[in-house]
Amino acid sequence: MDNDINIPDELFRLEIKALSEEVRIKFAKKGLSDIFDILSETAFLIRKPLDIEGLSGFITYYEDHFIVYLNSNFTLGHERYTGAHELYHIIYNEDILKKEKIFLDKEKYREEEIKADVFAAEFLMPEDYVKEVFYKTVNVDKYSLQPKHIVRMYNYFRVSYKAMLKRLIQLNLCSFDKYFELAEICSLEKEYELQALTREEGYDIDLIIPSKANYIPKEYIMYVKANYENSKITYEEMKETLEFIGLKPEELGYI
């Protein structure tokens, strides 16, 4: 696997692709396809701006429930990808999460982290559909891609520009040698250039800016209250849990 572009070995990729297809079909039978809807079905999904540098999201197991936190200070496209990454952990790392409570040691579980990243790409950007959309909306050889082509594709699959570019290279729809040239426009220094190009192509820029969403499901608050009232957690534990989502016990009637 390339350490910079993170292109997995093909056999490894195909194994994870099979897992992602099983999961996609499972939720499609429930009428669910959007990653946020799927996460809300399987866990308490909390989306809020977190001022923790480099932390795009995490998952924890607490009192018999999975809780997924997504940092909405990252772009919406990045946030969706993080959500798919965490979905892998919910489905395939349940035993680890129940034991560890949270994936703190990334090096210890490096293989599972890699699998979760590959799963996210396979889940959000299914191979056959990527190729179908590519030949319908782009249809150039892999040496001729331009940033505008990546823009069309990332908006179709509602991921980040960089995630889409890497996926096209992975599927041999874009030359490996063009990566750095095409990736330049999604650098922090050129964010306004990418926004302008996105608008020129007729798309909104919502996927390439932070959503700053602040979403806390009511069920989560009810869950915390019930655990406290049933003496499963202490007042201090309840207070700490609520502080993370910007609430105080007094606001819920506890003194």
Domain 10-125+212-248 has CATH 2.40.70.10: no
Tens of pLDDT, residues 187-229: 989 999 999 999 999 999 999 999 999 999 999 999 889 988 9
Q: What percent of the chain has pLDDT over 90?
A: 70
Best CA proximity match to 134, nearest among 156, 162, 119, 159: 156
pLDDT at 181 over 60: yes
Q: Are 222 and 216 in contact (CB under 8 A)?
A: no
**What is the chain's Cα-based Rg?**
20
Q: Are 39 and 83 in contact (CB under 8 A)?
A: yes
* pLDDT band at 7; cut points 50, 70, 90: confident
- 36 Cβ neighbours under 8 A, 6+ residues apart: 45, 47, 80, 83
> Could you give the CA distance from residue 227 to residue 206 in angstroms, rounded to a whole number?
37
Per-domain boundaries in the chain: 10-125+212-248, 127-208
Which residue shows structure tokens 């063009």? 178
* pLDDT band at 1; cut points 50, 70, 90: very low
pLDDT at 136 over 90: yes
pLDDT of residue 150: 98
Q: Are 155 and 141 in contact (CB under 8 A)?
A: no
* pLDDT band at 3; cut points 50, 70, 90: very low
> Could you give the CA distance from residue 185 to residue 182 in angstroms, rounded to a whole number?
7
What's the predicted TM-score (pTM) here? 0.90
pLDDT of residue 237: 86
Q: Are 2 and 11 in contact (CB under 8 A)?
A: no
Best CA proximity match to 90, nearest among 120, 69, 67, 110: 67
Q: Are 151 and 161 in contact (CB under 8 A)?
A: yes
Angle at 77 between CA 29 and CA 120, to 5 degrees: 50
The distance of Cα 85 from the centroid of its chain, to the nearest Å, equals 5
- 64 Cβ neighbours under 8 A, 6+ residues apart: none
* Helices and strands in the chain: count of H runs, count of E runs: 12, 3
Q: What percent of the chain has pLDDT over 70?
A: 96
Cα distance between the two ends of the chain:
54
Q: Are 183 and 163 in contact (CB under 8 A)?
A: no
Q: Are 20 and 217 in contact (CB under 8 A)?
A: no
pLDDT at 95 over 70: yes
Tens of pLDDT, residues 43-69: 999 999 988 878 899 998 877 889 999
* pLDDT band at 103; cut points 50, 70, 90: low
Specify the long-range contacts of residues 26-34, CB closer than 8 Å, at least 24 apart.
Answer: none
Best CA proximity match to 117, nearest among 13, 25, 10, 11: 13
> Could you give the CA distance from residue 227 to residue 76 in angstroms, rounded to a whole number?
32
